[in-house]
Structure 1
Amino acid sequence: MTHHNLFKKSVALIIGTALLNGCASLTKSQLNEVNTFGQLTSNFSAYPSKFILSFNTINEKEALLRANSRIDPDTHFTEIDSAYQHKKENDTLTGKSDLTFKIIDKYAQALVLLTADKHTKQLDTAAKSFGTNIDGLITNYNKIDSKDQLPTGIGGAVAELITLGGEQFIRSRQAKETKDFVTKADPMIIRLTNNVIAQLGNGAKDKNGQPVTFSDLVNQLRQDIKTDYKAFLGKRTTDIVIKKNKDNADYSASFINYRYATLDDDRECLQLLSDLDALQRLLNDTKTATANLAKAHHKLLTDIDTKKSLVEFATELQTYGDNIKDLKTAIQKIK
């Protein structure tokens, strides 16, 4: 063994031992709790995204009912085009909202890596990537509004794991870096979750382009479906038929044709009403889960700082975990 390699191992062992005996004091159970939190949150953006996608799908179907109740071709197409423009307004999250969800997801995924119970080369590669990605997303976020700034350099906590010494050194650094990572990120998580709640509360636009709450839009959709389905069924056409009278002279007669609902029409209307109820539940559950995400993370930080065994945090984590289960259930109910 060369003197250089021997020196590297000696340094790693000395520093690692010092860290294990010093400030790095998180227990295995604490690291497991952090890991669980990360897994629950790692794809959190899927829930509000599913809400927005489902809302737009139901809104499109309602718009088609409305368009189909119009006899005039120009009016018929105008209704469809209006529905499409409205869809574009609410279809995707852009700017601050998009970055908010991406940062939350990347942070949670980094927590899972940071508290992994086994070190691998894949962990090295992923950790470097996550650190760069998180810092890049935060930089882009901070460019949007000078008055709304997130702390920078958070991603470096993940990259710090990749250093001299290999397995032993990385394991000794794990507790310290986890604590530093959670500490730096807590103000960020509070701000980002507030963004999510604001987006779900007041981030929508009505048909006139005015800002409204998604709850208001869901309620309006319910009323629109009732009105437009009746109009769809009440659509009528007038047929003019030329006939002969008893003197063999031509005369015109008009016949009014009313539309009647098919079984498939009624099934579609029934499903729309059912989906709207599930959509409202998904919206409520997402707001609740978002608020509890922030609470659970802050409680996690408090327990880490006071070196608790995280017994108290288990309640917070269980509540948050139940929220995620509720979200998955609500999503499954939307067809």
Structure 2
Amino acid sequence: MSLRVLVAPDKFKGTLTAEQAAGAIVNGWWGARPQDEMEMLPITDGGDGFGDVVSNLIGAHECVTATVDAANRPVGACWWWQPELRVAVIEAARVIGLAMLPHHKFHPFELDTRGLGPVIQAAVAAGAQHIYIGIGGSATNDGGFGVARALGWRFFDDRDQLIEKWVKLNKLTRWLPPLDPILGVDFTVAVDVEIPLLGLNGATRIFGPQKGILPAQFPIAEAPLERLGLRAAELMGYDVAADAGCGAAGGLGFGLKVFLGAKLEPGFEIFARYSHIDAKLEKADVILTGEGMIDKQTLMGKGTGRLAQRCHALGKRCVGFGGMVEGAAKTQMADRLFHSVHDIAPSMTNPTEAKKNAAMWLERLANKVASDYDWS
């Protein structure tokens, strides 16, 4: 019996792009079941790889703009432009990404989002009427302060002095909008997690540690964001900081919503719309997905989790491959969403070796899963 298999992984961060992961899975599966009909559909949730995947779907071409990274070092940042649709695609990870910085060289309090400003301005100058910004994978925790300043917003402290560092926002009393604001452009921010700005499940406490913020520094890092949130609530009439997605990318979701009027949307839903994935799921017998880490955050808006939820609702078998799989997540997700969940490398494998040979391990695992299960 032949199957229709949809191969739809996200990136394996730091090791494989979504396209490379899809290729490895196809090679492994076909080695065991050459009779199956397979389709590759690399997915994205708004993090690393968002630009490449979405630009391929809409036929956009790559542009480069001179700007700075999160540490204020000069970079040429890639973004994508579709002139017929008047649509631009920006990926924060290609401008202010954590992966762009040497490990532990910069303190997170020194990093900000200002580098996104020139890229947004370049897209507007090109004639964009709609700009998609994927914000996952950032190195920052500044609540969008840096990009807002780069676009002309001015922030003042209790002495009515300009604030130039995001960590000083705890003294914020007021802000002023740009003298030359961006008009006539719709912004949609692709968020990869649906967390709020503040609190135990907010930007600082959930993702701060992977950016170098120590638990003892959480109060220092969150106080500026609290002040931003309070000021926004005063002006907008409700607690905007509590909105889902405002905590994504160190509060960049919040900043783009408040200072650009952007709509926040799960990045996977943007991908799903342009890729027509629902129609592909209807036709598939088995769906193979995966990402670098499958854990509790997979269910917080990550692409693999959203894909598995769609499959579950349709009664489709969805297999998850993870570079690493959190122990509790393996049991919980296999019971709730996935047909099965698998680590791509044996548990005794050295992590460095596992990353170096990720494609090989993923191919072998796909072959094993195809061989070992009864797919009739």
* Structure exhibiting the larger radius of gyration computed from Cα positions: 1
| TM-score normalised per structure 2 | 0.22
Q: Which has the higher contact order (CA 8 A, sep 6+)?
A: 1
Select the structure that is richer in strand. 2
